[in-house]
Structure 1
Amino acid sequence: MATLERIRNKGGILVAVVIGLALFAFILGDFLKRNGGGNQANSIEVGEINGTTITYAEYQNEISQAEDFRKLQTGSSSLDENTQYQIRNQVWEQMVQEILMGEKFENAGIEVSTEEVLEMATGKNAHPAIRQMFSDPQTGVFNQAAVINFLRNRKNDRNANLYWEYIKKAIVNEKLNTKYANLYRKGFYTTQNMIESEANANLRTVDFDFVAVNYSSIPDSTIEVSNSEIKAYYNDHLEDYKQDAERTIEYISFAVNPSEEDKQLAEKWITDTKEEFSNPATDAGQFVTMNSDLPYEDKNLNAEDLRIAIKDFVVNGKVGDVYGPYLEDETYKLSRIVSIKEMPDSVRARHILIQEQNPATANAIADSLINLINKGSDFAELARKNSKDTGSAINGGDLNWFKEGMMVKPFNDACFNAKKGDVLKVETQFGVHIINIQNVGKTVTKYNVATLARDIKYSSKTYQQIYSEANKFAANNNTAEKFIEAIKTENQTPRFATLKANDRNVRGLENSRRLVQWAFEGEVNDMSPTIYEFGNQFVIAVITDAKEEGYQPVNEVATRIKSLIAKDKKAEIIMKKFADNTKTSQSLSSLAQKMESTVQSATNINFAAYQVTGAGFEPALIGLATNAEVNKISIPVKGNRGVYVVKVTSETVAEKADLEAAERTLTQSNEYKVRSLNNAIREEAEITDSRAKYF
């Protein structure tokens, strides 16, 4: 379908739209079609959200659809591991949000009707994602008839139908979430009293002196905290000590690196090959393509673009000269000068891109347009009407100035070997191009160099030798105790990693997901059941610690809790001392002396201030100062770092409250609450993620 082909050409835009909407704050998935989580008997579960099960089959089905869509977008027949990993995570997040928000939508009676979907697809205010796909590239006018035609015929084309289902899911989800967010937003009403209170709080600006006594002034050893107090605090603040499941492993790595013999073999190969590579009868580019570990880059380079290692040789050499062997980036190389040409440093061109299913048809159209150009037709006008490169068509096909290598090779070569005013026809992977050379830059000397490369790689002999060392170590140290002791006695370098169940890799180990899975399948002191191979490393590991999902045991957090309780007790002691000494102090200076502290000063502080010089981030101090009476020593207040007493020395009260600024502040605060709704819902949810067992 022609429309589908246009959509495919705009794939990058659509991917951005779909992924952007998929990650929208309240995404729920295909809510209109899905009913619950599928609690099927005897099915494998990969997760549970608020009691609703996500089965392996459901999860895998969603992944397959997402992968099919990505392949369609990119034109690829397969996806790399990184893309698959991203898709799995995106699908999981979508399914979690589908269940969480589905509950909210149902309770609130929110839905998107068929009429609303149709309006978003074909109405006057069509969704931007639809409008982008079905607008005329020349005029930007939305083509409603094209959408209707596409929807009528999509079921006859699997790919077109897949496009539509993904677009529909995204725009329906956005509509549902917008409705829910607006409903939630209406629950926040800013009254006039609230606005006036906020504005009046900022009317007063004060200068003040203050005395601070830090908690560190009281030694921890003087504060007693009982086990019962720690236990009580732990129970009262249990949610602060939630933890994810973790495993800690200790491992050693036997790296397989090229030996000195391997290096000598690589050097011998490049040396033995030099004679054939240097032979004038040898096609240097083809020889490199057939024999080199690095590809031949058929480019004409300015002198400043040549690699430093060969620059002097090339600039001072002649065609056919060979440099090397030389060692660069752990690779032995030979470089041969293929050509030296006088060429423009840049070109300005415009083009018309013809795209047709049949190349013969595209060439016929291009020939007819070239005939019109030769007869005097305006190139720019023909480009605007006929070019499929919508980015340049709007500018009459103008590509502006570009340097060599910026365009695909057939296009590039045609432009840099042409003269000003030439009209050319060139075929590339994008279609047939009609090119008009508008101008050429200054002529410079350019060099084409073919470099034959032989990487220094480890041989099978080296591989077997390192594997034998690893195997011997594993066989002799098959318990955790032996393993840890052998690391010391054999002068091995131990490495450590703390892992979460869904970690993709162990840092520093290539494609090591299997090691993560094993760590969560085993128990403390288990040795890895095999020698793992990750990249060029053989790895042997032991599980040294395991934490299960839930709450940290009280004994693990006792030290932290003791410190918090001690801080509160220190605050009580300091506040009592402040209160007692204030009664007998005639001034802030005498109070400071009795408290073994000093008087500090702060200026220009109002309720909206963020911190106080000399104290740092202390909201309690700011609140105390902005509400204290002038020339009167305040009561003590407990802060983050210590206890504070203030004396306001002067105040300035604005004549008029800034009600508009206060209203903006409150409105922004409410909007933040709306944007944070998704996180709040998720934090309250019970989510069990068991994917690590299967992926």
Structure 2
Amino acid sequence: MAILSKIRERSLFLILVIGLALFAFVLDPSTLTDFFSASKVNEVGEVNGESISRQEFAEALENYKAQTGNQLSEMQAAKNVWNNLLRQKIYETQLAEAGITVGETDIMNALYEAPSVQNDPRFQTSGIFDKDKLKEHLATIKADNNTEWSAWQNYMASLKSNLQKTAYDNLVAAGLGASLKEGEAQYFTENTKVSGNFVYVPFTSVADSLVQVKKSEIESYINNHANEYQVEASRDVKYVKFDITATPEDEEAIKTEVAKLLEDREEYSNVTKGNITVKGLKSVTDYKTFLDENKSDLPLNESLQFKVQVPQTIAEDIFNAKEGDVFGPYKDNGYFKISKVTNITRVPDSVKAKHILIPFVGSRSASAETTLTEDQAKAQADSLLAVVKANKSKFAELAKELSADKSNAEKGGDLGWFTYNTMVPEFRDFAFESDKNEMGVVKTAFGFHIIHVEDQKNYQNAVKLATFARKIEASEATENKIFQDAETFAQGLSNGGDIDALAKESNVSVLPAVGLKVLDENVPGLGNERQLISWAFGSDVEIGDFKRFDVNGGYVVATVTDKTAKGLMPVDKAISKVRPIIANQKKAEIIKGKLTGSTLEEIASATKQTVRTASDVNLQSPTITGVGFEPKVVGAMLNAKENELFNKVVGDRGVFAFVVTKKELPTKLPNYDSYRKRIANQRKNQTFMMYEAIKKAAKVEDNVGSFYGL
């Protein structure tokens, strides 16, 4: 339906496109291919002038999905594939410029060294990896050109990509050493302490009203710092959600219907052509059939339940009840329920047991070595039970030798202590409802278990409940009303109404979604709503356009409030970030004008501040007591002469005047090699920064959105 809607919406556009193409074909048939094969149409991007075609991207995307088992969403996969292709192209360019090639020999050597390949029995001779067997296998599947060959090609492509990255990183890292002089400088920079006196005038001392920041100044700042204010294409949206929720009247109607199921009732039967008695929960005994026939929204829970596990609204009543008592209707976790106590007992909350597991062909614990049929496995389990009942000391030995549960076999089958809901139902029921020291054979989906219940503790009351549940949902009438509300709201927008004003009139909330990117999936407040984002990026969608969407649990009416193109951040978007920076620069100039005097005392008097003291500050932790984090000022103090006034020093929080009274140098070391090594290792370990730097310098054109028609 969604595709048909799109076709209808764009039918005129499609007719024009097809018409032009056919007209061109009549004049010259070769132009039809050209029309649909323009280079840009077939590209999803470029890296340093090298195009990434739609076909290359599509193949990489399919391979990536196969490798990850389709565990990621379409857009997450697309982002990862684009980043992988981008990285591959960038590294190829860098290595080519350096005259380095990752060839077939390099890839094959990496393949030979891969543990998964070396440990594959297909490529071993007498348990030792055999290169010739691997080569023979690759040659065979290459000749067949089957899906396995495609998988090997993908694996070798990933090996090549990793080798390229490693080669480049190693190449750059080789030039990222450090000298002993750098190590010495680092040691003294980190460990030199300074003390002194200062006057601090915070930016907050100047009222915001005294500083005017013009739009032109913000624009100028952005242009002068263009690298810091590059943005992707984005859309801003406002939306109103109309949730389909049950009204109090809907809830009351559901509660009434559920209540009718408690008592026996007379109903007309089309089969008998007369009235029959339909049993209610109070008198019925076949609870599963009762729940099925009345279409309960939750299945029958046949497990014992402790007090903390039953609905807490009726827990006290249930545990003071007797078998056969009924409760409800009561509201619990979005359902109206009625419950009947079908069993009351005392059981332990924890059991200590051990087991021997005998699998059979088709059981969940079966392996390639499993040959026993179900009957044979049952006979073996019965035989083992007889042995261990006659001699309990043999249990551990037999578990180690025969149990398919290898995680516990080495411990003699010991499972330790476990709680009621830990095991599968059949195993659990035997362990918790049997007596201490009892043994028996139990069949589960895993096979036949010989179980020995060794100990039990913390006996307490437990019940079994037969519970009918009906989910609390909006009625059809309510759904229709919500749909009509959404349609009316959309109609108001089509008549030129403002979304905020209309929302106020309708008593609904407007929510913003700012900075949506072309490959995003999640809309804040809505979750995964890819359809809304795709619409917002449509080439024919302008600011002020709106649309109603069917979403999970209701409807959304959304309108585009802003469109940002890829490139330099628009001034209006930058105001919140740039205005404080420029404002502080202007406040700094105002404060500087007040910092007059030849001593700290005179400056303090002129600015109505006090002279403060800074003790033992250093660049390792550049925090000044009473001020906060001030690396610029601490750095200035470290490089200042002692007992000399330094004035009008601009920091992160205000403007300073200071006098350094003492510099305490650390003890000289006989050797600074440890610091030199630390600097070198830090540089070499920051390969991610190297990649980010060369990516920033690369000419990248990202049009992945076009792959999805945007």
TM-score computed with the length of structure 1 as normaliser:
0.78
CA RMSD of aligned residues (A): 4.1
Shift of 1:270: 0.8
1:679 counterpart residue number: 692
Checking the alignment, whether the CA contact within 8 Å between 1:370 and 1:434 is kept in structure 2 is no
Shift of 1:426: 2.5
Q: Which runs of 5 or more residues in structure 2 are unaligned?
A: 1-36, 264-278, 360-364
265, 274, 288: which one pairs with 2:262? 274
1:63 counterpart residue number: 61
In 1, Cα distance between equivalents of 2:405 and 2:130: 20
1:349 maps to 2:336:
no
Q: Which runs of 5 or more residues in structure 1 are unaligned?
A: 1-38, 72-78, 135-141
In 1, Cα distance between equivalents of 2:132 and 2:329: 65
In 1, Cα distance between equivalents of 2:136 and 2:314: 62
Larger-Rg structure: 2
In 1, Cα distance between equivalents of 2:606 and 2:313: 74
Structure 1 residues 638-678: Cα deviation after superposition (integer angstroms, max 9, x where no partner)? 22222322222334333334836634642453145324333
In 2, Cα distance between equivalents of 1:393 and 1:171: 39
1:238 counterpart residue number: 226
Shift of 1:509: 2.8
Between 108-117 and 50-59, report the one with greater CA deviation.
Answer: 108-117
User: Could you say if the C-alpha distance between residues 315 and 611 of structure 1 is closer, same or farther in structure 2, counting changes exceeding 3 Å?
Assistant: same
1:287 maps to 2:290:
yes
Checking the alignment, whether the CA contact within 8 Å between 2:236 and 2:562 is kept in structure 1 is yes
In 2, Cα distance between equivalents of 1:542 and 1:494: 11
In 1, Cα distance between equivalents of 2:134 and 2:454: 43
1:401 maps to 2:412:
no
2:88 counterpart residue number: 98
1:424 counterpart residue number: 441
**Counterpart AA for 2:317:** F
Checking the alignment, whether the CA contact within 8 Å between 2:442 and 2:448 is kept in structure 1 is yes
In 2, Cα distance between equivalents of 1:269 and 1:242: 60
Q: Give the SS at the match of 2:645.
A: coil
1:207 counterpart residue number: 195
2:659 counterpart residue number: 647
User: Could you say if the C-alpha distance between residues 280 and 233 of structure 1 is closer, same or farther in structure 2, counting changes exceeding 3 Å?
Assistant: closer
Structure 1 residues 381-429: Cα deviation after superposition (integer angstroms, max 9, x where no partner)? 555566555543454443322112112333333443455362535231x
Q: Give the SS at the match of 1:629.
A: coil
1:449 counterpart residue number: 465
2:452 counterpart residue number: 437
The residue correspondences of 1:13-412 to structure 2 (distance < 5 A) are 41=39, 43-71=41-69, 83-108=73-98, 127=115, 173-217=161-205, 232-275=220-263, 276-288=279-291, 291-347=295-351, 348-352=353-357, 354-356=365-367, 361=372, 363=374, 364=376, 368=380, 371=383, 375=387, 379-380=395-396, 383-384=399-400, 389-412=405-428
In 2, Cα distance between equivalents of 1:212 and 1:243: 37
In 1, Cα distance between equivalents of 2:377 and 2:129: 27
Q: Give the SS at the match of 2:692.
A: helix
Shift of 1:188: 0.9
Structure 1 residues 326-347: Cα deviation after superposition (integer angstroms, max 9, x where no partner)? 2223421111223233434323
1:598 counterpart residue number: 610
**Counterpart AA for 1:355:** A
Q: Give the SS at the match of 1:581.
A: coil
Checking the alignment, whether the CA contact within 8 Å between 1:333 and 1:453 is kept in structure 2 is yes
Shift of 1:215: 4.0
518, 522, 546: which one pairs with 1:501? 518
Q: Give the SS at the match of 1:308.
A: coil
User: Could you say if the C-alpha distance between residues 143 and 382 of structure 1 is closer, same or farther in structure 2, counting changes exceeding 3 Å?
Assistant: farther
1:12 counterpart residue number: none
Shift of 1:510: 5.3
2:266 counterpart residue number: none
In 2, Cα distance between equivalents of 1:224 and 1:510: 40
Shift of 1:169: 5.8
Structure 1 residues 74-124: Cα deviation after superposition (integer angstroms, max 9, x where no partner)? xxxxx68x645543443333333333333334445666666666666665x
User: Could you say if the C-alpha distance between residues 620 and 68 of structure 1 is closer, same or farther in structure 2, counting changes exceeding 3 Å?
Assistant: closer
**Counterpart AA for 1:478:** S
User: Could you say if the C-alpha distance between residues 503 and 412 of structure 1 is closer, same or farther in structure 2, counting changes exceeding 3 Å?
Assistant: same
Between 414-423 and 623-632, report the one with greater CA deviation.
Answer: 414-423
1:548 maps to 2:560:
no
In 1, Cα distance between equivalents of 2:52 and 2:195: 60
**Counterpart AA for 2:187:** A
2:534 counterpart residue number: 517
In 2, Cα distance between equivalents of 1:684 and 1:257: 53
**Counterpart AA for 1:361:** L
In 2, Cα distance between equivalents of 1:109 and 1:295: 68
In 1, Cα distance between equivalents of 2:145 and 2:130: 16
Checking the alignment, whether the CA contact within 8 Å between 1:255 and 1:466 is kept in structure 2 is yes
Q: Give the SS at the match of 2:347.
A: strand
Checking the alignment, whether the CA contact within 8 Å between 2:183 and 2:674 is kept in structure 1 is no
In 2, Cα distance between equivalents of 1:423 and 1:612: 73
User: Could you say if the C-alpha distance between residues 550 and 116 of structure 1 is closer, same or farther in structure 2, counting changes exceeding 3 Å?
Assistant: closer
Between 557-566 and 680-689, report the one with greater CA deviation.
Answer: 557-566
In 1, Cα distance between equivalents of 2:684 and 2:647: 36
635, 646, 671: which one pairs with 1:623? 635
Between 535-544 and 599-608, report the one with greater CA deviation.
Answer: 535-544
Structure 1 residues 618-639: Cα deviation after superposition (integer angstroms, max 9, x where no partner)? 1121112223333332354322
Percent sequence identity over matched residues? 26
Shift of 1:193: 1.0
Checking the alignment, whether the CA contact within 8 Å between 1:351 and 1:399 is kept in structure 2 is no
Checking the alignment, whether the CA contact within 8 Å between 2:647 and 2:657 is kept in structure 1 is yes
Q: Give the SS at the match of 1:201.
A: helix
Shift of 1:684: 3.5
1:669 maps to 2:674:
no
Checking the alignment, whether the CA contact within 8 Å between 1:609 and 1:622 is kept in structure 2 is no
Checking the alignment, whether the CA contact within 8 Å between 2:282 and 2:326 is kept in structure 1 is no
Checking the alignment, whether the CA contact within 8 Å between 1:607 and 1:623 is kept in structure 2 is yes
Structure 1 residues 111-160: Cα deviation after superposition (integer angstroms, max 9, x where no partner)? 6666666666665xx54x668999xxxxxxx9756999899779599897
Checking the alignment, whether the CA contact within 8 Å between 1:284 and 1:338 is kept in structure 2 is no
Q: Give the SS at the match of 1:426.
A: strand
